Amino acid sequence: MKQLYLTHKGNAWFWTFTGLMLALLFAFPLLSRDAGMSGDEGFNIQQAKHVLHFYQTLGKDTVAISKYGKDGNIREYGQLPDNLAALIAAAFHVEDILAVRHAVNSFFGWLGVLFAALLAYRVSGRWFAAAVTALLLFLSPRYLGHSFNNLKDIPFAALMMMGIYYIVRFLQTFPKPPLKVCAMLAVSIGLATGTRVGGILLIAYFGLFGLSYFVSQYFAGFQQGEKSSAKKPAKKTHAKIQANKLFVRMLAYGAVISVAGYMLAVLVWPYALVSPVKNVVAAFQNISHFQVSIRQNFEGAMQWSSALPWYYTPKFILISIPVAAIVGAVAYLFAGGLKREKRLTTFIVYFSFIFPVFWIVYSNANVYGGWRHSLFAYLPMAVAAGLGFGALTEVAKNKFLKIACAILPLALLLPSLAFTIRNHPYEYVYFNSFAGGAKDAFGRYEMDYYYHSTREASEWIKADVAKNGAPDSARKVRVVTWHVPSVSYFFRKDTADFSVAFARWNERGYSNWDYAVFTVTGINPELLRSKQAFPPKNTAYRVSVDGVPICIVLKREDRSDYYGHLAMQQGKIDEAMPHLRRALEYDEYNEQALDDVINAYLRMGMADSALTSAKRWAKLNPGNPTALNHLATLYFNKGDLSNALLSANAITKINPGDISGLWIAANVYVQENNPNAALRNLNRILQIRGNFKPAYQLMAQIYSNAGNHQQAQRIIEAMNGIK
């Protein structure tokens, strides 16, 4: 410590950086205390308990390594930070596990800032660049917001940054890297991989950057030596021998560090521990091709995560990071980053943030939820930005220009600072000026896709009941939501008075609830942008970011839709219709009541009335596949094949995995005597659902009508072979 003081006692920027990092060390955990539960925390909390029990029973309890839960892939995440938080909570008997988890996660968020800033210093030799990098990351609302409660992506990003930092330290001190540097690089590899299997990339990075270093330092030098000593073969031979020895030395270091890091990862990750090669390879193969496809609002349309445009990730990054990060990262290339002595570190920094995004695009990875999966790529970008602003102050020739360049990053960060102050703890719902801010992004991009706002919504419900009393004092207050784990957690101490149950947004009228909590994620964008229909009439509370709702609380004022649906289920159509009409009088945009009204008209044989209601619903929400299905079917039954086909194709466009649109379209093509188009649709149906027998039957009929009885018979045999 004394040596550090003596070295930097006259450097104002060193002390600025030190003070900033100390302030952030307190700021991160303090800010995290206000955060809600993220969408994955419920699953990760349970898995962490299983992991602890796995180690406590010496592997006898195998739940942690079994395929269980909604997706069955949670065992493929080492989730080391989650397990650490569970261990701390258990050791100190802390009931509020979220408080511990968020404190642990905020520390990793701070750690990511620290190593990014230290890398900026190691590359530039200037503490100004380090301070700017740290400030830029702290005032990157997406990074800051995820640092509150995202124990999947923030710790991984921090540990990847730590690994890149120690790779650079290793290369700067080679051929005699200190033991501490080698050990910390191995620890970085182990902890990053023990958090998420993608940490293995650090081994690949180490190999690539080490080879690049060796080529730039030794092969280039050796070639120059050859030219200068063309008449001195002995000197050439000696230089070549030395280069070979250093190359072998680097390979040896790389092998030992990588193996040590891998072994550490295996020890802290149960799924890897039981099969250190097979299971790790399987997890790595699955990481980019998540089996479950999730609907995402992107560019104002609902799209499936497995079929998003190639530019989804790069565009989302560019519209939701501070403009300062973009300006600084570009500036470094023109303000010194390409100087001969800087080329290697410039390559390392830029490769570390460009390659992951490139690979997502190239491999057509199944990504969703904005770019949270790519957070680890953003830290090197922030380093490049810090280096860029630092380089600008060096390039500036006069005092006033230098001051202007030093102030520039602060000025560019003012909008994100203002957003953070206005919208805490929802910093991660940030869009920059390229997207027009949150107001213009609303209805065009996902907002609170990780359900942070359900905490505030749940707390408002408790306050409202405390103030106004329960709707029915004879029973518990019923709260429904899409996001049961996150809402249930905040009612965990109030189960005597409240019950929490699951309800889908488009089926919320089908159950008897008192309050409903919904974030806007998953709601059709056309509906979100309809000022008349959204938020619904019975919206009692909104959680907003810059004036747009990211979560709403509905309070039941009328139960006619529920009673109408109940009567429909019991087959009492005459009893259902008055309830459903009252529901639509109360709220003419009630989609659940419209659905039941259409079904009621159909049961009563009133197809024209059903069609009128279906048109009304499709106009209200043109992205609702159920409304379009009603419309397509009714048009087809009426003989209006053109409109039936338009509605059927709209269903397929909204959800390529929904066979209903393809099925109606195939029947339209049969009616229009277009067998080839019908067969194309039927084949697509069978690719999606191979056991859909009506598709086989219609295909057989088409071939039979064409006189190809042999092919028709083969299709019937294939259908009969389906179990």
Q: For residue range 424-439, what is the model confidence (pLDDT) as tens digits?
A: 999 999 999 999 999 9
Model confidence band, residue 73 (pLDDT cutoffs 50, 70, 90): confident
Beta-ladder partners of 295? 304
Mean pLDDT of 601-607: 93
**219: which DSSP letter?**
I
With a CB cutoff of 8 Å and minimum separation 6, the contacts of 619 are none
Q: What confidence score (pLDDT) does residue 318 get?
A: 97
Structure tokens at 634: 């009714």
Mean pLDDT of 612-624: 89
Nearest by Cα to 382 from 409, 402, 419, 418: 409
What are 287-329's pLDDT values in tens digits? 766 667 788 999 998 888 888 899 999 999 999 999 999 999 9
* Stated length of the chain: 723
451: left (phi over 0), alpha (psi -120 to 50) or beta: left
- Rounded mean pLDDT of the chain? 91
What are 637-655's pLDDT values in tens digits? 999 999 999 999 999 988 8
Has residue 182 got a pLDDT over 60?
yes
What are 522-573's pLDDT values in tens digits? 898 988 998 888 999 999 999 999 999 999 999 999 999 999 999 999 999 9
What are 11-35's pLDDT values in tens digits? 889 999 999 999 999 999 999 999 9
Has residue 222 got a pLDDT over 70?
no
Mean pLDDT of 242-251: 85
Mean pLDDT of 366-390: 94
Q: What confidence score (pLDDT) does residue 1 get?
A: 52
Angle at 73 between CA 71 and CA 75, to 5 degrees: 135
- List, in order of start, the domains of the chain with CATH numbers: 13-423 (no CATH), 454-555 (no CATH), 630-723 (1.25.40.10)
Mean pLDDT of 709-722: 89
Has residue 225 got a pLDDT over 60?
no
302: left (phi over 0), alpha (psi -120 to 50) or beta: beta
- Tell me the longest C-alpha to C-alpha distance in the chain: 106
**CA pair distance 610, 590, nearest whole angstrom:** 16
**CA pair distance 245, 85, nearest whole angstrom:** 45
Q: What confidence score (pLDDT) does residue 4 get?
A: 58
Give residue for tokens 């269903």. Answer: 651
Has residue 223 got a pLDDT over 60?
no
Mean pLDDT of 443-450: 93
Mean pLDDT of 498-506: 94
Identify the weakest region by mean pLDDT among 74-78, 268-272, 396-400, 575-579. 396-400
What stretches of 275-342 show up as alpha helix (H) in DSSP? 278-286, 312-318, 323-334
Q: Are 672 and 641 in contact (CB under 8 A)?
A: yes
Model-level pTM greater than 0.85? yes
Q: What confidence score (pLDDT) does residue 302 get?
A: 85
Mean pLDDT of 463-479: 92
